[in-house]
Structure 1
Amino acid sequence: MLKLKYLFDNRDLAEMLLQNWDYEDTGLFKHYRVSSNAIYPFKRDGTTHFLRFAPQEEKLKPNLLAELEFIAYLRGKGYGVLEAVPSKAGGKLVEVETPWGAYVASVFKRVPGVQLDRTDFPDDVMVCYGKALGKLHRLSSEYMPGEVKRWSYADVLDWIQDVLTAFPGETAALEETELLRGYFASLPKSQADFGLIHYDFEYDNVFYDEQTQTCHVIDFDDAMYHWYVMDIDQALESLREEVPPEDFEQKTQCFLDGYRTEYEVSGDAENIVAACKRFAKLYGYTRVLRAAGEKWENEPEWLTGLRGRLAEGLEEDSALFGEVL
């Protein structure tokens, strides 16, 4: 999540960054979304594209380059994934000095299909959803990064510890960081169960194309090296929020059946699910803590409302901090 000061609509900035790509002037930026990045849709060659950008200080350049490299690898293997569009200068990652500071930007083509929550989650779509994750993990297990490498869960824990130094009262979060660091360090890592994961393989980042009966995946911005079960658990937790409780077991089975057509679930997966959940809570907690750290007088109503919702989330995420795994 970006710091709250970056969540405002800034179309002048978006247009300035978009000058680095070809685009159509008509219907420019009818809507936008800002969370971990700012996303502004536009038209090019009659099709929808998305401008994605963020302040340079909010991103690690090696992570961005590694993300683009991994996406290119997946596309080369025939995996349904978004496509990065080169700028006029030929680069897929553009760094720009603007009146609002230094920014990094990329452009991606819209993938075919609809987000999973627009499908009512029928069984065949759930099988396809699981199959897409299984294939991703299989390809990841065969992947050898080039000059740049995406960060790992251990790097994330280092980042969390660094962020928490600015919040002296967060002793429980620091304790949780050290607890998870020790727990994960004690686990074996094999090519079969540990590799580059999506980390945000939730229903809103997966599109189902009814015509081809395949899934297409977007938003690898949170990718990291972790145990594959992390992706499985995150996907199923997002599904739990959308399907009726009485249907969840059936949908889970369909998802896992699809997954196993492409890759096998690690035999130790169930043993580390609790730690993966705790990692997600701690990482989310720290990101929100950092994002909301600055406050201003006379904030707009939507921002004060957002702060309230974030505060509730912080309380929920920290409930298990420090408990023995």
Structure 2
Amino acid sequence: MKKVVNKLNGDYSSLKLLGGFNDSVYEVKVNDKSFVIKFFLMSQTNKSLIKGELDWINYLSENGMNVAKPVFSIQDNFIKEISENAYSYYYVIFEKVEGRFIDEEGWKENLIKNWGQAMGKMHNLAKNYKPSCNGSIKKWIDNDILTDPPSLITDLVLDKWNKYVEKIKSLPISKDSYGIIHNDLHHKNIYFNNGEVILFDFGDCEYNWFSYDISISLYHAIQRIPLNQEEYRLDFANKFMKNFMIGYKLENSIDYSWLKEIEFFLDYRHIYSYLYILKHLNINDTDNRLKEFLEEMKNRIEEGLPYLKGLNLEQFI
């Protein structure tokens, strides 16, 4: 870490961990201006995928979207390399965007509409996007959860997971329903600044169904509400989706048949999230609260309990 800060002539005392699933995202000041540094373990990715992500971000920016963009620095190259503590990393420097999370702003109707509008514009732009020859964006089927599920799962969970995957494989693909999605556009990957939406953290972007991207935003929005508060969860979900889709339809149209898949995609996201945590976290090093949460997730998956039931789909027509 110190090597990178020194190369930037940055202020090491200003270094601040922002997050990332593996504590891989930091903020640092260079000449009193803040930047974000994101690290990628070379053993877990390849340069082509990072290039594909950055090209996609720049394309969205060039077409009028508010996104956290990569910035040129050393040798006019977006992607740099560093070795430290026996590990080798790629790293990219992003501009530090200003704004607040929706939790801080309040879950207001206009903000949710703007969130939906931003996703609608992104999906519309995806329809005509072609990755550069030096960059690539993975397809959903290439995700490591699908190619190499975690070994800790029970046979029952694995069986249910395989059934979800088989259904998704059977879904039709068209320009209007399938393309590059953010794949993690939850409320902690969005800033609001005077009502404007700024998107960031495109590290999971992939080719997938637009309906799934919508479902991911809904999934994480209602994840804040305890599972035993079913009536409140459903009421919130209906209000959220009503406003989200009002904004979405300002920029992109989506057939009603795909909206009817949202409850399925919510269940798929639930089991995917469970498998993701098992694969990428050392469960033995986690606290009891997370272990209890994972046990609850496992039980619901094995019992076939829906993540959400009774969504008022007619309001989206």
**What SS does the aligned partner of 1:167 have?**
coil
1:132 maps onto 2:118 in alignment: yes
Equivalent residue, structure 1, for 2:132 = 146
Deviation at residue 196 of structure 1 after TM alignment: 0.5
Structure 1 gaps of 5+ residues are: 1-13
Give how far 1:54 is off. 3.4
How far the C-alpha of 1:82 sits from its partner, in A, is 0.5
Q: 1:116 touches 1:208 (CA, 8 Å); kept in 2?
A: yes
**1:267 corresponds to:** 256
Could you tell me which residue of structure 1 aligns to residue 280 of structure 2? 291
2:309 is aligned to none
Residue 122 (structure 1) aligns with: 108
1:280 is aligned to 2:269: yes
Aligned to 1:63: 49
Q: In the alignment, which residue of structure 2 is the partner of 1:234?
A: 216
- Do the aligned partners of residues 263 and 320 (structure 1) sit closer, same or farther apart at CA in structure 2, a change above 3 Å counting? farther
Could you say which residue in structure 2 is the equivalent of 1:181?
165
User: 2:67, 2:18 → 1: CA distance?
Assistant: 21
Distance 2:206 2:252 in 1: 19
2:310 match: none
CA separation of 1:188/1:93 partners in 2, compared to 1, >3 Å: closer, same or farther?
same
- TM-superposed CA distance for 1:85, in Å, is 1.6
Query: Which residue in the other structure is 2:180 paired with?
Result: 196
1:118-171, Cα deviation, whole Å (9 max, x unpaired):
111222212111111111111111211112321111112xx335433x627643
Matches within 5 A, 1:94-113: 94-113=80-99
Query: Using the alignment, how far apart are the partners of 1:145 and 1:196 within structure 2?
Result: 10
Report the alpha carbon displacement of residue 307 of structure 1 after superposing the two structures with TM. Answer: 5.5
Give the partner amino acid of 1:163: D
Equivalent AA in structure 1 for residue 302 of structure 2: A
CA-to-partner distance for each residue in 1:184-236, whole Å, 9 max, x for gaps? 222211111100000111111111110xx321101111111110011111112
Note the C-alpha offset of 1:104: 1.9
Contact 2:157 2:298 in 1 (8 A): no
TM-score, normalised relative to structure 2? 0.83
Partner of 1:4: none
Q: Quick one: distance in 2 between partners of 1:136 and 1:88?
A: 30
Q: Is the Cα contact below 8 Å between 1:84 and 1:106 reproduced in 2? A: yes
Deviates more, 1:182-191 or 1:69-78: 182-191
Aligned residue number for residue 311 of structure 2: none
Which residue pairs with 1:155 in the alignment?
Answer: 142
Pairwise CA distance, 1:294: 7.4
Distance 1:129 1:84 in 2: 22
| Separation in structure 2 between the aligned mates of residue 196 and residue 214 of structure 1, nearest angstrom | 22
CA distance in 1, matches of 2:110, 2:222: 17
The aligned amino acid for 1:66 is: G
Equivalent residue for 1:82?
A: 68
The aligned residue for residue 39 of structure 1 is 25
Report the RMSD for the aligned CA atoms in angstroms: 2.8
Match 1:220 to one of 196, 202, 210: 202
Task: Report sequence identity in percent.
Answer: 19
Q: Given the superposition, is the C-alpha separation of residues 208 and 19 from structure 1 closer, same or farther in structure 2, using an over 3 Å criterion?
A: same
Structure 1 residues 124 and 167: alpha-carbon distance in aligned structure 2, compared to 1, 3 A threshold: closer
Which consecutive aligned stretches of 4+ in structure 1 deviate over 6 angstroms post-superposition? Answer: none
More displaced 10-residue stretch of structure 1: 29-38 or 181-190 = 29-38
Secondary structure of 2:76's aligned partner: coil
In structure 2, relative to structure 1, the CA distance for the partners of 1:206 and 1:307 (3 Å cut) is closer
Q: How far does the alpha carbon of each residue in 1:277-306 deviate from its partner, in whole angstroms, 9 at most, with x for none?
A: 2432333222222224575xxx6xxx4446
Whole-angstrom distance in 2 between the partners of 1:320 and 1:92? 47
Paired positions, count: 298
Answering whether residue 295 of structure 2 is matched by residue 312 of structure 1, we say yes
Quickly say closer, same or farther: Cα 1:274–1:248, change in 2 above 3 A. Answer: closer
Q: Residue 16 of structure 1 aligns to which amino acid in structure 2?
A: K
List per-residue Cα deviations over 1:78-122 (Å, max 9, x = no partner): 110001122312221222222231112111111232112211122
CA distance in 2, matches of 1:226, 1:277: 14
TM-score (norm 1): 0.81
Code of the residue aligned with 1:209 in structure 2: it is N
Find the aligned partners of 1:81 and 1:183 in 2 and give their Cα distance. Answer: 33
